[in-house]
Amino acid sequence: MRAIAWVGVLLVVLGVAGLAVRTFTYTTKEKVLDLGPIQATADKEHDVFIYPAAGIAAILIGGVLVVMGRRKV
């Protein structure tokens, strides 16, 4: 298989994962107070929503790339 077909397979896998998971959360540390040697931080959670249309588009585009990558030139 050519490289374009592998990219297509990756897109299909990511599209299916995006449809299955829908949201994920990650945490960052934010500096709240900075007074010389005294510092205070807080953990802040961020939610990321994956739109179903993005997952479907990734699956469709990945499928097209797999078909194009497997064709003989």
Residue 30 identity: E
Per residue in 49-66, pLDDT (tens digit) is 999 999 999 999 999 999
Placement of tokens 């588009």 in the chain: 57
- Per-residue pLDDT, 71: 79
Per-residue pLDDT tens over the stretch 9-48? 999 999 999 999 999 999 999 998 888 888 899 999 999 9
Helix, strand or coil, per DSSP, at residue 26: strand
Residue 73 is predicted with a pLDDT of 64
Of residues 70 and 63, more confidence is placed in 63
Burial class (CB in 10 A: 0-12, 13-18, 19+), 61: middle
Domain count of the fold of the chain: 1
* Full residue range of the structural domain in which residue 17 is found: 3-70
